[in-house]
């Protein structure tokens, strides 16, 4: 009579013969040794090892920071077995070993950081923990995928102080944003006023240039006319007659002509 063992997908099996490791078996159906009457048969055992990613919660670890503040931290660790032989042969319980390694790494990292550094850069804490444990865990066939700091809990009085500090910081940031917005708006308004004044000044200057050019042109034309009248007196007389004719067309116009008296010699 023989027995069989089925290894599911996501697992590997470690085959032991009389308590000694023999080989790794892949997922599938595996026959154990056949029992024969009156004959000693080696005892075969297959131990399944889960290779899937798993989550491990490390809760309520109270640790002192570099500035002696007690902080309670909760860490979520994701890991999976990469070498089932090392995981089963080199440590008693690889899951307990992951727990203790991450716990110690968190203590070392927090003890080297001040409270302010922890609050302002929690991601750095997670990265430090992961970097600290990934080499150690590889030695017993486990890969630490993530070690995220989920919660940081402070003593009650410190929590109240931190809440007030955070509130003050948010108010200060809001005031800075408001002041910056107001300054930007005033700068834009001043720039708009300056641009409008510049455009107005340019328009006035252009109008003055046009009037000056017109006056110069008019004076030039008058000078040309005066020169023509001086050179040709008949033109001046003709202009006088045209003017008198235009006045004569107006019934209300009055024309007074003075006659010089000629004294006979």
The tens-digit pLDDT sequence of the chain (265 residues) is 567 888 999 999 999 988 899 999 999 988 876 666 666 777 888 999 999 999 999 887 788 888 878 888 889 999 999 999 999 999 999 999 999 999 999 888 888 888 778 777 778 888 888 999 988 999 999 999 998 888 877 766 565 656 666 677 778 888 888 888 888 888 888 888 888 888 888 888 888 888 888 887 777 877 777 776 677 677 666 666 667 676 666 667 666 665 554 444 4
Residue 162's pLDDT is: 61
Q: Which residues contact 21 (CB under 8 A, 6 or more apart)?
A: 14, 15, 85, 89
Tell me what pLDDT residue 224 has.
74
**Percentages helix, strand, coil for the chain, rounded to the nearest 5?**
50, 25, 20
pLDDT of residue 265: 47
What is the structure's pLDDT at 11? 94
Interior angle at CA 17, CA 12 and CA 21, nearest 5? 55
pLDDT for the residue 85: 95
Distance between CA 1 and CA 197 in Å, rounded?
107
Asked if residues 142 and 84 have their Cβ atoms less than 8 Å apart, the reply is: no
Q: 81, 122 in Cβ contact below 8 A?
A: no
C-alpha radius of gyration, the chain, whole number: 52
pLDDT value at position 262?
Answer: 47
C-alpha 169/C-alpha 171 separation (Å) is 5
Cα 139 to Cα 155: distance, rounded to the nearest angstrom: 37
What's residue 2's pLDDT?
60
């Amino acid at each position: 009579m023989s027995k069989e063992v089925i290894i599911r997908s996501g697992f590997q099996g470690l085959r032991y013969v009389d308590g000694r490791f023999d080989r790794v078996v892949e997922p599938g159906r595996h026959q154990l040794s056949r029992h024969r009457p009156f004959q000693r048969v080696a005892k075969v055992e297959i131990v399944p090892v889960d290779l899937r990613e798993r989550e491990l919660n490390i809760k309520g670890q109270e640790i002192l920071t570099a500035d002696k503040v007690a902080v309670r931290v909760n860490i979520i660790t994701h890991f999976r077995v990469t070498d089932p032989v090392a995981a089963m042969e080199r440590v008693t319980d690889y899951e307990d070993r992951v727990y203790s390694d991450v716990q110690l790494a968190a203590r070392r990292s927090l003890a080297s950081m001040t409270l302010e550094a922890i609050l302002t850069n929690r991601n750095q804490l997670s990265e430090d923990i992961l970097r600290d444990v990934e080499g150690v865990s590889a030695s017993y066939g486990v890969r630490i995928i993530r070690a995220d700091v989920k919660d940081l809990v402070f003593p009650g009085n410190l929590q109240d102080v931190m809440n007030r500090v955070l509130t003050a910081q948010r108010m200060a940031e809001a005031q800075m944003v408001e002041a910056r917005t107001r300054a930007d708006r005033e700068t834009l308004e001043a720039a708009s006023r300056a641009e409008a004044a510049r455009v107005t000044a340019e328009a006035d200057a252009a109008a003055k240039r046009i009037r000056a050019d017109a006056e110069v042109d008019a004076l030039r034309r008058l000078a040309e006319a005066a020169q023509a009248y001086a050179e040709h007196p008949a033109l001046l007389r003709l202009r006088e007659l045209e003017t008198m004719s235009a006045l004569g067309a107006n019934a209300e116009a009055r024309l007074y002509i003075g006659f010089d008296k000629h004294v006979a010699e």
